[in-house]
Structure 1
Amino acid sequence: MSASPPVGAAPEVVEGIWHPRWVWVTAGAVAMIFLAATQSLAVTTVMPLVSDDLGGAELYAVAFSGTLATSVIGMVAVGAWCDRRDPVLPLATSVALFVAGLLIAGFATSMPMLVVGRLLQGLGTGGQTVALYVVVARVYPVALHGRVFAAFSAAWVIPSIVGPSLAGLVAEHAHWRWVFWGVAALTLVAFAVVFARLHGIDLRTATPSREPVARRLALATVVAAGALALSLAGEAGPWMLLVVVAALVAIVLSIRPLVPRGTLVARRGLPSVILMRALIAGALFGAEIYVPYLLIVDYGFSATAAGFGLTAAALSWAAAADVQGRFGDRIGDARIALLGCALLAAATLLAAATAAWHLAPWVIIAGWALAGAGMGLMYPRLSVLTLSYSTPQNQGFNSAALSISDSVGASASIAVMGLTFVALAATDAGFPAVFLIAAALAVLAVVPGLRMGRGAVTEAGATGAAAAEAHTSERPSRQ
């Protein structure tokens, strides 16, 4: 790595991301994404068994939304940390929290204890995501950013093929606890590869940010608390509606300074990129946890077989991400947004139809591949656009904002879908309702999708109007 170009510079000839100059950072970072994908898909597959084993069905949705909620705190803390220094130590701290959370969840003897582990895991997951984004921004030349994010998306391929079914096999023939313990051990190995290559290299920005952090952390904590309150609103009995309204108000008011100005009203440019990420994350991740649930409860699938319900989507995600990485500029951002949202909406509507009319299970399994294709087109494209609107001084803030919108959109969606599902538990409308909510979010995402712009960046960083746009994200108090 000693031959790496200085921050903000690019070699005369841009090699691929697997060139010896980058190969170990690429391998370690992709492995970390791979393991995060494995863990995500595995937990989605085995959580019905975990909930049954630990006797906490009422905390089923919280085990997912809680992790996403606390990840907001990790994102803000690590984003600010990276804007002040290099991302290596923030990444190390995030990995430590992630592994600690996995171990606690693996040793859990009750559903509340598992939720505590998942909350701690969320802190690490959020920080790890932002730190890796900043590593990409500061290690690789701009011309390689799209390929790196495409590789991150492609890292879901193998987990999508073997992860869900392997998790089911482990849960059925060993124990679901190994799903957590195994990922924890392998994550430490993957991080060691990245750390060994980055340690000792100066990845600090020339002009570190001096924005105050305490207020942002306090607001992130309020956002996380609001998301958790929303998830637990069903326990409030007659006060449920009041809790839901109060939690949503707290989330909206607190998240505004954590994202670029104009995000909540879909202002053109970076704000619309951030908002679109929230909406599509809410649509997909909110609905996805109910796909294996539906297959197990209504169709009698085993955990292993139910895992295959997620395989087609993850495969199509990776394939579409590769298409985006190669031809994204030629296709254009507006077409990517329209096509991606259409595919996501079609998938969720097919899922709703399957649940409502008890169609053959292959309909939802095959249809869910459309959701993966849509997300594979949109997700890495939004990451590239975010960096193109950023300068070295606010890469951490903007990367955190993208990840915050991702987590808040998903956690709020999961919470609302969970409340809806529980409220309709006595009827057959629970599963169709959650999938229809997801379809509505996918359609709504078209609005910011057509207002994203193209970004404007040279290989030295943002310039012109894009630089001015990016700098507005450093003045959140004026939003």
Structure 2
Amino acid sequence: MTMSRSRRTLTLGLLVCITAVAFEGMAVVTAMPAAAADLGDAELYAWAFSAVMIPQLFAIAATGRIVDRTGPVRPLLIGLFVFAAGVVVAALAPTMIVLLVGRFVQGLGGGAVNLCLLVVTAQGYDPVERARIMTWFSACWMMPAFLGPGVAAWVAEKFSWHWVFWMILPFVALGLVFMASGLRHLPPRGDTEAPENPVPLLAAVEVAVGLALIQAAGQELGWTSLLWVAPGAACLIHGWPRLMPRDFRLAVSGLAAVVMVRLITAGVFFGLQSFLPLMLTSRGVSLLVSGAVITIASVGWMLGSWLQARPWLRLSRDQIIIAGAVCVALGAAVTATSAWLPAVSLPLSLLGFTASGVGMGLQTASTSLALMQLSSEEEIGRNGSSLQVGEAAGNALLVGAAGTVYAALTPVASPTVVFGVQMSALALIALAAIGAARRIGFVENHSRLA
């Protein structure tokens, strides 16, 4: 792939920005226990993560609306500055409340950045180049999974948890420097008519609040949970359809099916990932080995992302998505089997979760590419926000559901039954992604035309 100098620096800047956002997510998880011990208010610990998710969902939807009017450059720059401001607030935080404010601001900026990077890729590269760019994006997401936790733990112990946040700022600055010349060559869209069906911002607020309420209900089961579930479900039912692509229905093809595949597979994969280390350590596997299972699955993700961009892969883009959904479902089934068979849980879970990782690599890049091909230019921001909101919602709903099953069964059942029921349910849900993938319809694979 031959590029001009401005395109090379744009590409490098995009990769650095993705690394910054990914490192923030991976490293801060490791540093948060030290921050909580230092700042106190341990009861607010869980909100350090929810404080990012809620504004991120809103920012993705709102940015999609803005991008379709103005183009991605201005929202991307604003998003990076907002993200950096949140990092500074968190790094300087003297109390847990201030840290939560910083995390909230980070969520706003990070959501805007993620959406804009997708649109910049759609506008700045031709269809053949996009598949390769997506492979590099996956590598930038996976690299912090290898290095982020260890580096963050070392920095927090040697210096302070504050420095884990400060470390993120150089990545943001480098990304801005590298992207500067390339972004100038992207055409502004201020003279383009706004799409007829813009993202309703109130719906974004409803979905974010609804997911937060449902997650809160799952943390402590009882009659009082209904006080959270009922309004949370009402918010989701009312707001969700309005955030999806035009004419969205659960059973239709095209963009709606693309969003559903992404939602289900992401939710299943991260639902398994959230509880797989807990299952393995409860069976005597060391934390180091349990973490290695997750790391190897990340390698599988990178492998799948690499495969989807190979010119010798003679599959259409929709067929690659189907293959990815099948791998996720088969891997989830093998992982669920490992939950029922403690004696062989380590090798089976390693095999199954790695297969799911390969599937995620195949379908995550391919659903983004399919969305670009199925969207008109004026609606790429709106539909891109639908895809990313769907992914975030799938994570929140299915990880939350897995947690609810764990909380409900742990007092009354053996660990084998708890993890077996939980992971079997996720494997069954994964089958729905295969059905959705089959309904997408033909999407050309431009990589095989290269």
Tell me if TM exceeds 0.5. yes
* Identical aligned residues as a percent: 29
Match of 1:395 among 367, 380, 403: 380
- Whether 1:340 and 2:324 are equivalent positions in the alignment is yes
Closer, same or farther: CA 231–189 of 1 in aligned 2, 3 Å: same
How many matched pairs? 441
Would you say the 8 A contact 1:274–1:401 is kept in 2? Answer: yes
Would you say the 8 A contact 1:222–1:254 is kept in 2? Answer: yes
Would you say the 8 A contact 1:160–1:312 is kept in 2? Answer: no
SS in 1 for 2:108: helix
Match of 1:315 among 278, 299, 315: 299
Q: Which is worse superposed, 437-446 or 425-434?
A: 425-434
SS in 2 for 1:263: coil
Look up the equivalent residue of 1:315 and give its one-letter code.
Answer: V
Q: Which is worse superposed, 385-394 or 174-183?
A: 174-183
Would you say the 8 A contact 1:168–1:305 is kept in 2? Answer: no
Closer, same or farther: CA 55–421 of 1 in aligned 2, 3 Å: farther
More helix by share: 2
Please name the residue that 2:401 is paired with: 416
CA distance in structure 2 between the aligned counterparts of 1:455 and 1:328, rounded to whole angstroms: 17
CA distance in structure 2 between the aligned counterparts of 1:48 and 1:328, rounded to whole angstroms: 47
Please name the residue that 1:119 is paired with: 104
CA distance in structure 1 between the aligned counterparts of 2:262 and 2:226, rounded to whole angstroms: 27
Closer, same or farther: CA 37–347 of 1 in aligned 2, 3 Å: farther
Look up the equivalent residue of 1:266 and give its one-letter code.
Answer: A
Match of 1:132 among 93, 102, 117: 117
Please name the residue that 1:192 is paired with: 177
SS in 1 for 2:5: coil
Look up the equivalent residue of 1:255 and give its one-letter code.
Answer: W
Per-residue CA deviation, residues 54-94 of structure 1 (Å, 9 max, x unaligned), is: 77787666554553332221112111111111311201121
Per-residue deviation at 1:387? 0.5
RMSD over aligned CA atoms reads: 3.4
Per-residue deviation at 1:266? 3.1
Per-residue deviation at 1:184? 3.6
Would you say the 8 A contact 2:318–2:443 is kept in 1? Answer: no
CA distance in structure 1 between the aligned counterparts of 2:21 and 2:52, rounded to whole angstroms: 13
Match of 2:76 among 45, 66, 91: 91
- Whether 1:446 and 2:434 are equivalent positions in the alignment is yes
CA distance in structure 2 between the aligned counterparts of 1:118 and 1:425, rounded to whole angstroms: 32
Look up the equivalent residue of 1:71 and give its one-letter code.
Answer: Q
TM-score (norm 1): 0.80
TM-score (norm 2): 0.85
Would you say the 8 A contact 2:27–2:149 is kept in 1? Answer: yes
Look up the equivalent residue of 1:204 and give its one-letter code.
Answer: R
Per-residue deviation at 1:447? 1.3
Per-residue deviation at 1:51? 6.7
Closer, same or farther: CA 20–401 of 1 in aligned 2, 3 Å: same
Q: How does 1:25-36 map to 2 (within 5 A)?
A: 25-36=10-21
Consecutive unaligned residues in structure 2, runs of 5 or more: none
Per-residue deviation at 1:280? 1.1
Would you say the 8 A contact 1:65–1:231 is kept in 2? Answer: no
Per-residue deviation at 1:358? 3.9
CA distance in structure 2 between the aligned counterparts of 1:168 and 1:34, rounded to whole angstroms: 18
Look up the equivalent residue of 1:129 and give its one-letter code.
Answer: N
CA distance in structure 2 between the aligned counterparts of 1:135 and 1:39, rounded to whole angstroms: 21
Per-residue deviation at 1:145? 2.0
Consecutive unaligned residues in structure 1, runs of 5 or more: 1-14, 459-479
Closer, same or farther: CA 61–28 of 1 in aligned 2, 3 Å: same
SS in 2 for 1:208: coil
